[in-house]
Amino acid sequence: MIGFQTLLKKEILRFWKVSFQTVAAPILNAVLYLLIFSHVLERHITVYGEVAYTSFLVPGLVMMSVLQNAFANSSSSLIQSKITGNMVFMLLPPLSYREFYVAYVLAAVARGLLVGAGVWLAALPFVHLPLQEPLWVLTFAVLGGVVLASFGVIAGIWADKFDQLAAFQNFIVMPLTMLSGVFYSIHSLPAFWQGVSHFNPFFFMIDGFRYGFFGQSDVSPWISLAVAVASGLVLAALTLAMLARGYKLRG
Amino acid sequence: MSQPAVRVMDVVKRYGALAALDGVRLEVAQGEFFGLLGPNGAGKTTLISALAGLVRPDGGRLEVMGHDVVADYRLARRNLGVVPQELVFDPFFTVREMLRIQSGYFGLRQNDAWIDEILASLDLTAKADANMRALSGGMKRRVLVAQALVHRPPVIVLDEPTAGVDVALRQGLWQFIRKLNRDGHTIILTTHYLEEAETLCGRLAMLKAGRIVALDTTENLLQRFASHTLRVRLAAGAEVAALGGHPAGGGWWEFAFDRYAEVESILARIRESGVEIADMEVGASDLEQVFLQLMRAA
């Protein structure tokens, strides 16, 4: 247990020691999105009938930050350790692959939640944002974090170069986030693209998260919960299977 | 009999068509100073990696202090300290933080008294709070040794610990490792410096293409394989081929012998043939000759 706690602590310290880059910068990023999009669109759009666009946007940005940072943390930590070779420090001690997985995922979720909370707090002075069902908010934030942290572990283990990791980030995580309804309600889309959105698990995670704030969403939060839990289980099983085999870590 | 510190049983590791380890079998007794020698690609690092659980063998088993490195990996790893060959470090932490983290991985809290002792022994006390990035190569190497010792493992493996290390540091490092050995730690060493192996290791295994081609005490290996050489320079024009000598150029001839008693009879034969000796030297055997002979033969 001490071994696991130490790995978790080390993983948290790793991002905390460079928190300007890993926490402050993504918060600033999200706030910039908020300023620009709200400035351009606030007067033109309302969602769910009466919700102002800026209010609608904030939960999307918060969840986007949670997801992207959870992914970034586990994936970049692993690939850095692999490329610099210090992965050996984690492989020589008597740590089980399950401890390894849980420590990396929890640290990544911690960073995701930290950045998400930062974005939420930074936005509060500028928008009226209700918080109708906090438990849903927390549930989806944690679940989304776990899903993306696991995906980050997979990417970090699979990738041999930063280039390959960037491909995960730019060609999978980024498009799925951008097309998930962070910036719009999918009801504003043509029927075809609404249908396509239903194949994107990010859509459900963000929609469920948003439900916690407004008590309204594009689909039932229970469906979103089911999708998020299923995604989490599939990715966790895949990651654990990779780690158990020592895929790319123990030759 | 106490159980061996390390037991390697018919270990096979293949990478595609290449057999990095091809049925390696050896035992290292507790308290030994054991050397693993072989040219690049012979399988030394693969063997060490298999022992440390960094590589999974395709066949055979390995044990550290009686614990199977796969089935009983927690105990096997607790008993093993590995100094890796590459100069790796975590740029996010200071020396002390790194050693505390490493202690934690092995389930140890409040390990600072021992950490201070290791730091002092390795002359790192002044650098305890320096970031790993700020250290010289030699310092980083010493931190790697320190990291391998935080959990006081009975078996310590050093994979080419002195590669690229300056003379003073190398001496210091060996002094420290000898002391660990005297204190009862089993040491397993791979090195390219055969002189090092000759002076330090009590027993040696030589690997070639994933197989052990020699496994014996250093003394026996030296006696068994390396014949000593008597070199004589003869007066101009003399020919002693008939006496069993081999020309070595510049008027020098070489005579191989196993025991010093033979020198006398060689000299007597030369004298009897009426040839005058202008110069003479006796070359002691060294591990390099043994190594080269074995590698050529195998």
Alpha-carbon distance of A229 to A147, in angstroms, equals 8
pLDDT for B136-155, tens place per residue? Answer: 888 899 999 999 999 999 99
Alpha-carbon distance of B226 to B291, in angstroms, equals 9
Assess whether pLDDT exceeds 60 at residue B226.
Answer: no
Q: Locate tokens 């006496």: which residue?
A: B243
- Chain B CA closest to residue A9: B101
Q: Where are the domains of chain B?
A: 6-222, 226-297
Higher pLDDT, B58 or B262: B58
Chain B residues within an 8 Å CB radius of A86: 88-90
Chain B residues within an 8 Å CB radius of A6: 101, 103-105
Residue B266 distance to chain A (closest CA, Å): 55
Helix (H) or strand (E) holding B20: strand B18-28
Q: Please tell me which of B38-52, B187-201, B212-226 the model is most confident about, judged by mean pLDDT.
A: B38-52
φ and ψ at residue A126, rounded to 5 degrees: -100, -20
What does the buried/exposed string (b/e) look like for B127-145 if buried means 16 or more CB atoms within 10 Å of the residue's CB? beeebbeebeebbbbbbbb
| Contact flag B77-A250 (C-beta cutoff 8 Å) | no
The answer to whether the CB of B150 falls within 8 A of the CB of B114 is yes
pLDDT at residue A203, as a whole number: 94
Cα dihedral: B157, B163, B164, B165 (round 10): 50
Q: Locate tokens 């030759």: which residue?
A: A251
pLDDT at residue B240, as a whole number: 66
The answer to whether the CB of B4 falls within 8 A of the CB of B64 is no
What's the whole-model pTM score?
0.88
| Contact flag B104-A85 (C-beta cutoff 8 Å) | no
Q: What would you measure as the largest C-alpha separation in chain B, in angstroms?
A: 79
Give A182-234 as a 3 state SS string. Answer: CCCCHHHCCHHHHHHHCCCHHHHHHHHHHHHHHCCCCCCHHHHHHHHHHHHHH
- Chain B CA closest to residue A16: B92
- Average pLDDT for B182-208: 90
B6-222: CATH topology: Rossmann fold (3.40.50)
| Contact flag B73-A94 (C-beta cutoff 8 Å) | yes
Alpha-carbon distance of A201 to A151, in angstroms, equals 13
- Chain B CA closest to residue A7: B105
The answer to whether the CB of A127 falls within 8 A of the CB of A55 is yes
Alpha-carbon distance of B275 to B272, in angstroms, equals 8
pLDDT at residue B245, as a whole number: 78
With a cut of 50, which residues of chain A have pLDDT below it? none
pLDDT for B231-283, tens place per residue? Answer: 888 876 666 666 777 777 777 888 877 777 888 888 888 888 888 888 888 87
Assess whether pLDDT exceeds 80 at residue B13.
Answer: yes
Q: Model confidence at B173, in pLDDT bands (50, 70, 90)?
A: confident
- Chain B CA closest to residue A2: B107
Cα within 13 Å of Cα(A229), Cβ side: 7
Chain A residues within an 8 Å CB radius of B52: 91-92
Alpha-carbon distance of B100 to B114, in angstroms, equals 10
Residue B27 distance to chain A (closest CA, Å): 21
| Contact flag A18-B106 (C-beta cutoff 8 Å) | no
Write out the two tokens for A235. 């990715």
Chain B residues within an 8 Å CB radius of A242: none
- Average pLDDT for B192-196: 80
Higher pLDDT, A23 or B289: A23
Assess whether pLDDT exceeds 80 at residue B296.
Answer: no
Residue A96 distance to chain B (closest CA, Å): 8
pLDDT for B34-54, tens place per residue? Answer: 999 988 889 999 999 999 999
Contacts of B92 (CB under 8 A, 6+ apart): A13, A14, A17, A18
Q: Locate tokens 């927690």: which residue?
A: B74
With a pLDDT cut of 90, the percent of chain A lying above it is: 76
The answer to whether the CB of B94 falls within 8 A of the CB of B128 is yes
Average pLDDT of chain B, as a whole number: 88
Residue B116 distance to chain A (closest CA, Å): 20
Quick one: how far is CA A101 from the chain centroid? 17
- Average pLDDT for B56-69: 96
Q: Model confidence at B1, in pLDDT bands (50, 70, 90)?
A: low
Q: ∠ CA A85-A88-A93 to the nearest 5 degrees?
A: 165
Residue B44 distance to chain A (closest CA, Å): 15
- Chain B CA closest to residue A82: B88
| Contact flag B88-A5 (C-beta cutoff 8 Å) | no
With a pLDDT cut of 70, the percent of chain B lying above it is: 95
ipTM, 2 decimals?
0.90
pLDDT at residue B196, as a whole number: 84
